[in-house]
Structure 1
Amino acid sequence: MTTTRKTPSTTPPPAAVANDAHWAAKRERLLARTRPMLRLTICDDPDAKQAVSDAQNDEKQARYLADRRPDDKAAQDAHQAAEAKLAEAQSALDAVSIVLSFQALDRKTYRALLAAHRPTEEQAGEGYDFNVDTLGPIMIAASSLDGITEEDAATFLDTWSENEAQALLNTAFRVQREERMDLGKG
């Protein structure tokens, strides 16, 4: 049995508007939402990473002293200097880093990919719902906003260290399950 999805009407039902005068605006915002995105930052320069870590610690200490001594000009100046040093270190880190961006696929496409890549018996026995070996490069390529191809993804997965390849793979799959909702009390 096939189902046909209706395109949403441009006007909300009168009952919805009667229950919530702001429904039309909410509805427009809901229809305009983009799918979740995640970024993976890669940096091969340990000195740049350490410089940011050191600068963060220095800024935190300087902020603590400045907050405790709001009238102490030297403490305030030291905090400003530490903030500038942190910004400079972060800028240097950003310059040597590679940022990969991923966006969740629409639900129908994601489910079709999972269905097309069933797990092997061994993978199913380990609790997998899909064949990570065949789906991994496809999922990375499909969710990449940077144009990573399936061939590139397969190369990265095969040649990077185990943890780095896993981080790449996890980012492509995690964005599919990213949740931006809160089921708080109404």
Structure 2
Amino acid sequence: MTTAKKTAAPTPPPAAVAADAHWAATRERLRNRARPIARLTICDDHAAKQGLAEAQFEQQRAQDTADRTPDDEAAQAALRAATNTLADAQGRVDAASIPLRFQALDRRTYKELLAAHPPTEDQAEDGYNFNLDALGPILIAASSLDGMTEEDAAEFLDGWAPAEAEALLNTAFGVQQEDRMDLGKG
């Protein structure tokens, strides 16, 4: 039994690759990609949030009814009314909300920040490869698209409820880990 020897596909010369219109367009798109952005929305108006949840439920219920009875004008009118109510409720939540935006740092900057803030002995024992307490406010400020300073971040992390402070930290760290790629078959 003979086994066919697999050979690597030949590599085209760089000039041919540079002249390839498909690769040139793909390369341009790759170079123009924006780093990921994450958004943390804070809304302290419980009544507005509850009103939005109720409006979403009613709109979905009206949508289901309208889908089951497309010729029923009353169902279609109820759907339009529920959709308007939902838009109004969303507007109230939007007006009461504070949106914060964070953008992933470039790889080099992120790695330099991690390296500049090594873990304490206890943190290293817990599996951390950086000092969360020192790096948190710095990373939040560095990735903030809204101009949040390190001082602001430290104040919020210390003064907010634990779950809210964690959400702030997780948003700034999470956007650094966001993966928008699909490694599926080509």
Taking structure 2 as the reference length, the TM-score comes to: 0.90
| Offset, 1:37 | 0.3
- 2:103 counterpart residue number: 103
- 1:16 counterpart residue number: 17
SS in 1 for 2:102: strand
Aligned counterparts of 2:71 and 2:126: Cα–Cα separation in 1: 62
| Offset, 1:17 | 6.0
| Offset, 1:120 | 0.5
- 1:130 counterpart residue number: 130
Taking structure 1 as the reference length, the TM-score comes to: 0.90
Moved over 2 A (4+): 13-18
Aligned counterparts of 2:80 and 2:42: Cα–Cα separation in 1: 29
- 2:158 counterpart residue number: 158
Number of equivalenced pairs: 174
5 Å matches for 1:45-60?
Answer: 45-60=45-60
Residue 67 (structure 1) aligned with residue 45 (structure 2): no
Alignment-mate amino acid for residue 16 of structure 2: A
Aligned counterparts of 2:143 and 2:168: Cα–Cα separation in 1: 11
- 1:9 counterpart residue number: none
Instruction: For residues 23-72 of structure 1, give each alpha carbon's deviation from its aligned partner in whole angstroms, at most 9, with x where no partner exists.
Output: 11111110111110000000000000001100000000000000000000
Greater CA radius of gyration, 1 or 2?
2
Contiguous gaps of at least 5 residues in structure 2: 1-13
Alignment-mate amino acid for residue 120 of structure 1: T
- 1:121 counterpart residue number: 121
Identity %: 66
Alignment-mate amino acid for residue 39 of structure 2: R
Contiguous gaps of at least 5 residues in structure 1: 1-12
